[in-house]
Structure formats: structure tokens, C-alpha cells
Structure 1
Amino acid sequence: MGASRIDYRLLEQLTEKSQDLNSTAMRMTGSALGEGDVRVSREDVMALQTAASLENLAIDVYQKAAGLPFIKNGNKTVAAFIATTISQHSAHARAFNAAATRAGGRAQTAPNPKYAAIVKKALPGIKGPADVVALAITLEDVAAQTYTKNAGGVGDGRLRSLFASIAPVEAQHRAVLLAVQALLGAGRPELIALPTKVAALPAAAGSVGFPEGFYPVKNASPISEGAVK
């Protein structure tokens, strides 16, 4: 694909659509949960708690990243994306925990244990923005895969709507990060900007954020992984 065919609005659109998609997800979540009690199975509650654990970990990682000198004093577009993403993950965590508690379960305030261990191992090796982006991609991907799978796995229709509305937001986060990763890998961090310098973008810039036609679920977290013990 030549430079003339690149969607020069890619990063701008992905950032804007992430905010729009999240707003839509939160509206759908409120509608799905309604005002009454949510009576679901123990397995469904565990799925909600595991989802909250993934959100809790994402918040913690992004907050730590935001404080790193090469992020805080680095690319302004990346820093703005991180700030927006923290807000969105916080909203997701509240939504999952609200559903869990209304169903008679306990809120999950701890991070996902499996991926917390992965993050702990990875943190000492973080030396620059590319390392932060790679770690964030891992977390966004497992969240998107988990919620995609849960959308078809939970028994209550309202909870299916909850997972189905939030999964695309996490996939959108990953898409933005993949685009950023590609530009960092090409040695062109100056192109991570709004507005984007169209002619300078690599040919793959318009497609690198969407490597799959259908979102995979093979790496989805099992419902018990982050459940409250």
C-alpha cells in the first residue's frame, strides 16, 4: 500500500473513536444493568471479578507508566492517550464491580494475579516507551480476548451486553498501541502526533492496528483467574 493510500487520520481517529466507543459502552452498561438486582450464577460473578482484576492491573500499570520520565516528559500524544486510557479502565472496573456486587458477590479490588506476576517481572526491564507499549499491548489484548469470550459465555443477557460493550474499547486501545509500536519500531517517534504527517507514514500504518479479521479468544483468562477467594 503506497503512501497515497494511507488513512492519514489513523491515530487521530483511533484516539477519538476510543473515547466515543467508551462513552457508548458506558451508556450500554448502565442500560444493561438497569436498576434492580442482578441474579446470576456464581460462575458469572467470578467472570465479573476476573474482569475487574484485569482492569485494576491495567490502571496500576498505566499510572506507573505515566510517572516515568520518558513518558511524562516525552511524546505528548502518548501521554495524553495514557491519561485517557486510565480514565476508561477506571470506568470499566467500576462497571464490572457494580455488576458483581449487585449480583451478591464481592468487588474485586486486587490486580489479576497471573498478569501481576508478569508485570512485576517485566518492570525492571522497562527502559523506554517501546517497553511500556509492549507491556500495555499484552494487558489490553488479554482483556479484549477475555471479554469477547465472556460475552458468549455468561448466562445472563445483561452481562453479555456488559462484556460485549467493553471488549471493543480494549481492542481499540490495543489497535492504537500497535500503531504506536510500529512507529517506534521504525525509528519514527516524531510521527506519533496529531495531526499526523501523512506522507512520512510507513505503508503499513493503516492496517497494523488490526492484524486479525476476527478477535481471537485463545488467550482469554479463565473466569476463576481473578475471582475473589
Structure 2
Amino acid sequence: MNGWIKLHRQIMENPMYFAETFTRVQAWIDLLILANHKTGYIYVRGNRVEVHRGQVGMSEESLAERWKWSRGKVRRFLKHLENEQQIVQQKSHIKSLISITNYEEYQQTVQQTEQQTGQQTITNNNDKNEKKGSNVHTNVDFDVFWNAYDKKVGAKDKLRRKWNKLTNAERTAIMEYIPRYKQAQPDKQFRKHPATFLNNRAWEDELIMPHETDKSKSNQFVVNNW
């Protein structure tokens, strides 16, 4: 069968997208959707990890939760894709990156695609959408935020839809804010619920770090004992 389609990342906002356990084909398409269209970064346990164009920065655990699979099934599936030379995996004690082989072939322009036959293409329109200022979906998937924030309470599906409506700049600001927020409030029971954090745009709040509080108390002690 010849021809191609455009598949927008906003398909993830459709309630049917996560309604059922993923098939293997759905999982493969999901990886294509999750792959970065340009170099960016994510935070893993407070460490900044660079994610290049065509890479997915998600762990087996996050993919298992996303696809409603076991971790073993995810591992076997990724190994199969690697054996078929569809992906390359990079793993360490900090990061887990999946590189889509021949990613550029999935990102051709309409004109390039029309000049070829027998090739199915998923076209990435993120660059065009960013210029228009619209919300764009990037590799900063909701599950990355969910795991980084580390207070897993609330209706996850509603939170995911809220996250998917954020802009690139907002998601980046949140991921940069979280490590400092956790440092300022290390006890997770006193952190805001994820829904409150997102709805109130808490990442724009000023943070008071523990050492700043200690310094303030020290200065107060000096003044009182002058």
C-alpha cells in the first residue's frame, strides 16, 4: 500500500489514546510521537540529561505505565526493535535514551514525500507550530513530570490532559523548578499536590531555600545580641 499520513501529537489528548492496553504497533507509533524534534533536555533524579533530535528520554518503567504493559514486556519489545535496527538504546545508572534509527525518514516534508512512492511518513509539524505560538508536545512527557515531582496523588488522567495543554516554555520552566522545589521542601508530604501545583502555576512562585532560612535566623540572632 502506497501513501502517507500526517499524525499530530495532539492525538495523545484524545481519551481513546490511553483507554486500552497498547498494541505493539501503537507502542512503536508512540515512540515516534515521543521522540524529540530538536535537541532538548530532561531531569532525571536532579541530573540534567540532554536528549537529541530523534531520541526519547523515558525509562522502561515510564513506558510500562504509559502502555499498560509489564516492564518485562517493554524490555522485550525494545530489544526486538533494536534487533530489527529500528532503535538504538543507551542506558546508564542515570539515563535511559532510545534513538529512533533513520529518524529523518519519518520527518520528511510533504514535497519530499510526494516525490517518493511506497513510503509511509509521519510528519512532524512542531517547528511550524512553535512559530505560531501554539502548544506543542515535546519529549517532556507527563510521565517524566509525574516521576520527577514524586508526589503521586490525584486523578492522573486529568493531570495528563492539563500537562498536555502546557507550552514548551512552561514545561521547561517546570522541570527546571522541580529540583529546586524539592530541595526547598524535601519532605514530600508538605509539597503541593500535583493538581494544585499545575493549576496555580506554582513553578512561578519564589522559593526560600533552607540555607536562606538559616542565614536569616543567624542574622536575627546577631541583631538580638548586639
TM-score by structure 2 length?
0.25
**Whose strand proportion is higher, 1 or 2?**
2
Name which one, 1 or 2, has greater alpha-carbon Rg: 2
**Whose helix proportion is higher, 1 or 2?**
1
TM-score by structure 1 length?
0.25
